[in-house]
Structure 1
Amino acid sequence: MAKKLLRNYQLYLFVLPVVVYYLIFHYYPMYGVQIAFKNFMATEGIWGSPWIGFDHFERFFNSFQFERLILNTIYLNLLQLIVGFPVPIILALMLNQLMNKKFKRFSQTVVYAPHFISTVVMAGIIFLFLSESTGMVNKIIVLLGGEPINFMGEPGWFRPVYVLSDIWQNAGFGTVIYLAALAGVNPELHESAVVDGANKFQRIIHIDIPSIMPTMVILLILSIGNLMSIGFEKVLLLQTSLNQSTSEVIATYVYKNGVLQGQYSFTTAVGLFNSIINFVLLLIVNQAAKKLTNVSLW
């Protein structure tokens, strides 16, 4: 063992900074999870605070907001997954078929550019475009003979606005991943298919999609593994007092009760519950994908 370490010490030194980073910033802080089972008091510290068992979990499960928080989080994530997951795949397949290289690069830039817009700026743009009185979208609706819609005030509009804006902002990043996978497709497969008389659509179905299927499965596993987690910043920035019935999710609930109200033990318990659900989902989906497609994370 020692001889192997010495023989490949350059590789271990190369990996060492990453390992140290994860140990310090991801594993070491996990000892603080114990406050989920304690009545944490800052004056006593984590070790000195008294144990109270599962009281915080019972409080959350019995809360009148429990069902609404779970349903809002699941609905928003499922909608985002169902509507948003295929979009980068479709865009990548379309861009891959473009023959004009300049137009292809231009299209990639246009699709990818919104990814670099910060969440705060993106939320500001959404409010500006969807304003009931001055927003461009409502002005178009009025010109077409309709009535202005209070997009940010009506609970029913929160989920479509969030999902569609998320697609606009992040679809380009996923497209780049799939384009990289498509770049690895053997050109001889397409040449043989053309000789056999296959058109572009048939080549996409029988060559391109099977080639990127492992990438699709891996990204799907990761997406479902985060089903109970959602970008808290954007939800919070788009949240108003009028749309809270559909916009209040577990992440915003933890922020309001933990950071703003100082209920650290209670919100740690809520966050731990959320993480356990995600971990169980990841294990189940990974095992199912392994059996069905022979592709998995491990």
Structure 2
Amino acid sequence: MKTLEHPGSKKILEVRPGNNKFIHSLIKYKYFHLMALPCLLYFLVFKYLPMYGVIIAFKDYEPTGGFWGILKSEWVGLQNFKMFFTSIYFGRLMKNTLLISFYRLLFGFPAPILLAILINEIKNVFFKKTVQTITYMPHFLSWVVVSGFLTILLSTTGGPVNALLERAGIEPIVFIADKSFFRSLLVLSDIWKGIGWGTIIYLAALTNVNPELYEASMMDGASKFRQVWHISLPGIKEIIAIMLILAVGRILDENFEQIFNLYSPAVYEVADVFETYVYRQGLVEAKFSYSAAVGLFKSVVSLIMVILSNAAAKKLGSDGIW
């Protein structure tokens, strides 16, 4: 048995040898633990405790029974999952979610990397900070505001985009209600809103690249493209791998706010994804057990995607996220 004095007080703590290091670390970094406490409480209250409600996916839950009615509800096993897998919506939701996510990965994921490299090459500090500020400002706009802005911009009655099309002799296009343009509109608006914010972490990673490498490459006659390809990108490959793993993990976790504020029944066929479907089934039609089964299926697939993408990243030489 050993004793440990609490810093700033005369209180003596008796600790066992096996717990000595743990308690000493806990006391030494107590302020850091207090700073992390709100974050831990957030995940505990809003992420872990609600997992208890997942059991309604395997029950015929009646909301009239209240919270404790979950225990009294009848078990139905995998019936809710079978209903979903055999419905006409399963194929449509999978197709829309995977296609929209694939387009976002293909075009949206490299966009902040490219912008970060371009900003990193700017030598004028004032101009560099101005570009950074302008590009990440849209991140602070809600999708309600952005969707309203897009509706006005693409309107067939006075919208500047359709006004230019009319001048070019092209009939006005209802972009937001047109199945041919809606997915492209989602991807482009998502890139515009998030590209500046996404560059922050890559710019931070680029500051850790040794500048002597650039100087040596310039002396060897390397072009800017060669410097980016052989120095900048390899210098931030670990960060790119981690962000890609997280992006793949969110492949079924679409931006509900964006789609919800932009879509309409006219584009359900190409825009309806898991989250919008769960919202309609769970909150609008009050099918709580069924919507919980759909949400649980989506979460399990997302977890599998994270595990597989992390394993693939390790195979390619990255450290991954665990």
Q: Are 1:255 and 2:279 counterparts?
A: yes
Deviation at 1:17, TM superposition (A): 4.3
- Once the two structures are superposed, residues 4-53 of structure 1 have per-residue CA deviations (whole angstroms, 9 ceiling, x without a partner) of 12211233643444334323332121111000000012344111111000
1:31 to 52, 67, 70: 52
> Amino acid of the residue matched to residue 142 of structure 1?
E
Would you say 1:195 and 2:230 are equivalent positions? no
What are the within-5 Å matches in structure 2 for residues 113-192 of structure 1?
Answer: 113-192=137-216
Q: Work out which of the residue numbers 109, 114, 117 in structure 2 matches 1:85.
A: 109
Aligned to 1:122, the other structure's residue is in SS state: helix
Per-residue Cα deviation, 1:276-295 (whole angstroms, up to 9, x for no partner): 01111111111011011233
CA distance in 2, matches of 1:22, 1:120: 26
Q: Deviation of residue 91 (structure 1)? A: 0.6
Greater relative contact order, per chain length (Cα 8 Å cut-off, separation 6+): 1
How many Å separate the matches in 2 of 1:117 and 1:261? 30
CA contact (8 A) 2:281 2:291 kept: yes
- Partners in 2 of 1:222 and 1:204 — Cα distance? 24
Counterpart CA distance in 2 for 1:19 and 1:93 is 34
Find the aligned partners of 1:19 and 1:176 in 2 and give their Cα distance. Answer: 24
Contact 2:241 2:318 survives alignment (8 Å)? no
Aligned counterpart, 1:287: 311
Q: Which amino acid aligns with 1:27?
A: Y
Q: For the pair shown, which has the larger CA radius of gyration, 1 or 2?
A: 2
Map of 1:94 onto structure 2 = 118
Query: Equivalents in 2 of 1:122, 1:17: separation in Å?
Result: 30
Measured against aligned partners, the alpha-carbon deviations of 1:35-92 in whole angstroms (never above 9, x if no partner) come to: 0000012344111111000000000011112111110111111111111111111111
SS of match in other structure, 2:236: helix
* TM-score of the aligned structures, taking structure 1 as reference length: 0.96
**Which structure 2 segments of 5+ residues have no match?**
1-17
2:30 counterpart of 1:9: no
Matched, 1:267 2:285: no
State the distance in 1 between where 2:298 and 2:120 align.
Answer: 38
Deviation track 1:99-124 (CA, whole Å, cap 9, x = no partner) reads: 11111111111111111111100010
Please state if 1:18 is matched with 2:48. Answer: no
**Cα displacement string for residues 180-208 of structure 1 (whole angstroms, at most 9, x for unaligned residues):** 11111111111111222222221111110
For structure 1, which segment, 17-26 or 82-91, has the greater mean C-alpha deviation from structure 2 after superposition?
17-26
1:165-185: CA deviations, max 9, x gaps? 000000111111111111111
Share of identical aligned residues, percent? 41
Secondary structure at the counterpart of residue 152 of structure 1: helix
